[in-house]
Amino acid sequence: MKDGPEAAGARAWAAMAEGGLGLEIDARGLSLAAAVALARGAALRAWGVREKPRGNLLVLTAVPGAAERLWSLGAPAIAGNLFARDLVAEPANRLTPAAFVERLRALEAFGLRISVRGRAQLAREGFGALSAVGRAAASGPYLATLEWPGVSGQEGRPIALVGKGMCFDTGGISIKPARGMAAMRADMAGAAACAGAMLALALGRSPLAAVAVLAIAENTTGADSYRPGDVLRSLSGRTIEVVDTDAEGRLALADALHHAIAAHRPRAVVDVATLTGSIVMALGHHHAGLFGNDDALCEAARQAGREEGELLWRMPIGKAHRLDLRSDIADILQCAPAGQGRQPDACHAAAFLREFVGETPWAHLDIAGVELAEAGNPLAARGMPTGFGARLLARLAATPAP
C-alpha cells in the first residue's frame, strides 16, 4: 500500500470488480482507519457514468459497528466528490448553463438554500465581467448562490467558496485550437467542486456556515462575443482591459469574488478554477496550484488537501506579476499580452484575482491539470473526472478558522 489504503482500495476495485461481481476485501488484519479508507477508495473508484451497476463492496473487519460509524463520517465527502464528478462528466450540450443551474436546484432537498441571478439581473446589477464572458452563448450566464447556514446555531461568518463554471470554453474570439478542445466540457470543474463540497457539508450537517458563489456561463464565439481590446467595468467598479477572450475564467471569478465578499462578508474566501494551462506546465498532474494573500488560510487549505489526498502546492504572486498587468487605458490588464514570449499566466491570473478580494483572507486553487485523471491516478479511471476539490473544500469549510 505504497500510496495509502485509499489508493489500495481503489486499485483493488479497478482490478477485481470489472466483471460486475463486486468485491470483497478482507481487512481484518488492518487498522480500523485503514479498513474504512480501503472502502472509501473503492467507492470513489467505483464511480462511473455507465448505467450498469457493478456489484457491491463488502469489507470484512473485526469491528463492523465502529467501521460503519467511521464510514458514515466520510460518506458525505464521497457523495460530494461523486456529485462533482457527475457534473464534470456531462457533455456541454447536456450540461448547459441553464441545466447546471437546474442540477444545483436539486440540492435544496438536502437543506441548502439556492438563489440564482440570470442574464438580465447580472447586467442590471453591474456584473460587467461575467456578463461579457457569457453573453454570446444561447444559455446563461448565471450566478448561483448556495448557502448552508450551519447547525451550530451560532451566527458565524461563513466561509465562501467561489467556483468557475464554464460549461464549455471555446476560447471565444481568441478561439482555441481544435485539438483537445473537447476536454473543455470540464471547464466547470471548479464550480462542480464547490457544489460537491456544499452537498457534503449539508449531508454531514456541518456546524459552520458556508456559502458557494458559482459563476456559470459558456464562453463561445458569436456575433455578440466580447473581444480582445474591450474594456469591461467589473462589479467592483474596476475596469479591465481584455487581452485574450480565452482567459475568461478570471473575469467571471472577478465578479463572483467581489459579490461573495460584498454580499456575504465571509471569514475567508476560496476560489477554485480550471484556470490556466500554465499551471499544468508548472506542476503537472500531481499538485494543484495554491495562491493566496493569507498564509494561515493557505496552510489550512494545504493541510486539508493532504488529508484528503488532494495535493496543493503553494505558488507565488510576485511584484513583477502584478506589474506585468499594467494597462494603458484601464485599471488592469486581464492577462499579459502574448507575443512577449512565455508568460507565467497562472501567477498573472492570481495577481489579477487578488485585486478583487481586498483584505479578506483569500486562497485560489488553480485545478487545471488535476480535474481529469491522468494515468496513475488510482481514484478514477484515466481521463475521467476526479472531483478534485470537493473533499478538500468540505474539510476546510467544516474546520474552524485557524
**Which residues does the annotation mark as catalytic?**
176, 250
Any bridge partners for residue 210, and if so which? 148, 159
Task: Give the chain's count of helices (H) and strands (E).
Answer: 13, 13
Shortest Å, Cβ 264 to other proteins: 32
Q: Minimal distance in Å, beta carbon 400 to other proteins? A: 28
Rounded least distance, CB 188 to other proteins, Å:
21
In the complex, the smallest distance separating the C-beta of residue 246 from other proteins, rounded to whole angstroms, is 16
The contact pattern for other proteins, residues 325-364, with x = CB under 8 A and - = no contact, is ----------------xxxxxxxx----------------
Q: Which of 53, 91, 318, 383 binds other proteins (CB under 8 A)?
A: 318
The closest of 42, 1, 82 to 388, measured between CA atoms, is 82
Between 79 and 336, name the residue whose CB sits nearer to other proteins: 336
- The residue (of 239 and 343) whose beta carbon lies closer to other proteins is 343
Q: Which residues contact 208 (CB under 8 A, 6 or more apart)?
A: 150, 152, 156, 158, 159, 201, 397, 398, 399, 400
- Of 165, 214, 170, 161, the closest CA to residue 187 belongs to 165
Comparing CB distances to other proteins, the nearer of 1 and 320 is: 320
Burial of 172-211, coded b for 16+ CB within 10 Å and e otherwise, reads bbbeeeeeeeeebbbbbbbbbbbbbbbbbbbbbebebbbb
**What 8-state DSSP symbol labels residue 230?**
-
* CB of residue 368 to other proteins, shortest distance in Å: 10
What is d(CA 378, CA 286) in angstroms, rounded to the nearest whole number?
12
CA distance 366 to 343: 16
Q: Which of 58, 63, 182, 320 binds other proteins (CB under 8 A)?
A: 320
Give residues 270-289 in contact with other proteins (rule: CB under 8 A). 278, 280-287
Query: How many of the chain's residues bind other proteins (CB under 8 A)?
Result: 28
Stretch that binds other proteins, among 100-108, 159-167, 368-376, 394-402 (CB under 8 A): 368-376
What is the residue whose three cell numbers read 503537472? Answer: 284
Q: Which stretch binds other proteins (CB under 8 A): 78-86, 112-120, 143-151, 308-316?
A: 308-316
| Dihedral sign computed on CA atoms, order 220, 120, 198, 42 | negative
Comparing CB distances to other proteins, the nearer of 200 and 346 is 346
Residues forming a β-bridge with 162: 213, 271
**Looking at 5, 165, 369, 389, which residue binds other proteins (CB under 8 A)?**
369
Give residues in contact with other proteins (CB under 8 A).
Answer: 278, 280-287, 313, 315-316, 318-321, 324, 341-348, 369, 374, 376
